Every structure is written in structure tokens, then in C-alpha cells.
Amino acid sequence: MTRWSPDARRRLREAALDLYAAIGYEETTVAAIAARAGLTERTFFRHFSDKREVLFDGSDELNQRVADAVAAAPRDALPLDAVVAGIAAVGAFFTRERRPDARLRRKIISTHGALRERELMKLEALGDALEAVLRARSSRELARLAAEAGVAMFRETFDRWVERDGDWLSIAKGVRRDLGDLTASSNRPSH
């Protein structure tokens, strides 16, 4: 008999999200999250460093998967098409079933400065990971710009997926098309 709980992470995540939604992020303690999940505080801290981090579980892995898929994209793909391949590779995280929780999570994050800061740091980490793999395709400056634009595409893909119906991949492709339209015709004559 063991107290090791294979689904502890998931239970803590769900308990945290429930409590943040029900009584508020500020008011929720780690003790309350652990209790609701039927686990101890000690178990909480084995999985998460603080009550912010529980909302960002999996995001490091997600960033890594995106970057790996960018690195694996065809050699002659344009940097931003490689980024689309990276975004497409994590579609399994963004299923219809996960949308309600994602929507709730986004709402909680948007109303707390400390959570927004943490989210921005995670997106910054995505940008750093993208830049590192894009260096194989571009100069340093172009890789940095493409990484930033890639983060913009990821954010917009995520926002549209949260707000609308539709599947992750077709949304990502739509964002890619829109970015092309937004940038393509510079210096057109004004008419």
C-alpha cells in the first residue's frame, strides 16, 4: 500500500482551478487546494513551487514540444511556417473538452497581476526556445524577430481557440494567413 497518487498533479490542478473560480485566487490557500484534492500540503509542494505555478502546469513541456517540432520542420520551410508546424504539434493539448477549463483559467489569470506576470514569463520562455531553434534557419536578428512573431501567432491561436469553436490546427493556419496579409503589402502606393 502506497500513498503515491498517480493522478495527484491533475487533482491538484483541478482543485486549484475550482477554488480560484469559486472563492478567488487571493483567498485560496495551498492548504485548501490540497484538502480539496484529498492530498497533503507536502504533496502539493512536491509537485508545484507555489499556488501560481499550479495554473501553468505543463507549459514548460508545451514550450519544448513546440520548439522541437519547429526544429524538425523541413529545412526549406520559411521560419514562420516552421512555427506553424510547431504550434500544430501541440494540438493534442487544445481539444474541445479542454476549452471550458482553459476559458476559466484565462479569466483568472487576466484579473491578477502576479498571474499575468508569470504567464508573460512563460511566453518569454517560449520565445527563447523558438529563437534557439530558429537560429539554424536564420541570422540572429531574423531568428529573434521570427521567434517574437511566432509567440504572437501562438498567443493569437490560443485566444481564438478559447473564444471560438474550431480546431486548433485550422485556427493556427488562419492566424498564419492573417499575419501574411497584415505584413505582405508594405510600401503599396497609397490610393
Of 14 and 81, nearer to a second copy (C-beta) is: 81
Q: Using the rule CB under 8 A, is 177 a contact of a second copy? A: yes
C-alpha cell belonging to residue 76: 526549406
How far apart CA 72 and CA 60 sit, in angstroms, is 18
Of 36 and 160, nearer to a second copy (C-beta) is: 160
What binding mask, one character per residue, do residues 129-168 give for a second copy by CB under 8 A, x or -?
A: ------------xx-xxx-xx-xxx-xx--xx--------
Q: Using the rule CB under 8 A, is 169 a contact of a second copy? A: no
Of 39 and 146, nearer to a second copy (C-beta) is: 146
Least distance in angstroms from the C-beta of 21 to a second copy:
23
Q: What are the CA-CA distances from residue 185 to residues 43, 77, 174 (Å)?
A: 55, 21, 18
Q: Which residues contact 1 (CB under 8 A, 6 or more apart)?
A: none
- 3 state DSSP class of 5: coil
Q: Using the rule CB under 8 A, is 125 a contact of a second copy? A: no
Q: Using the rule CB under 8 A, is 42 a contact of a second copy? A: no
Q: Which of residues 72-91 bind a second copy (CB under 8 A)?
A: 74, 76-81
Given a contact cutoff of 8 angstroms between Cβ atoms, the answer to whether 56 and 91 are in contact is: no
Query: Binder to a second copy among 111, 121, 136, 167 (CB under 8 A)?
Result: 121
Query: Binder to a second copy among 107, 124, 136, 166 (CB under 8 A)?
Result: 124
Q: Using the rule CB under 8 A, is 180 a contact of a second copy? A: yes
- Per-residue exposure over 136-156, b if at least 16 CB sit within 10 Å of its own CB, e if not: ebbeeeebbebbebbbebbeb
| DSSP code string of 139-150 | -HHHHHHHHHHH
How far apart CA 91 and CA 83 sit, in angstroms, is 13
CA 91, distance to chain mean position in Å, is 11
Q: Using the rule CB under 8 A, is 52 a contact of a second copy? A: no
Binding positions for a second copy, rule: CB under 8 A = 74, 76-81, 113, 116-117, 120-121, 124, 141-142, 144-146, 148-149, 151-153, 155-156, 159-160, 175-180, 182-186, 188, 190-191
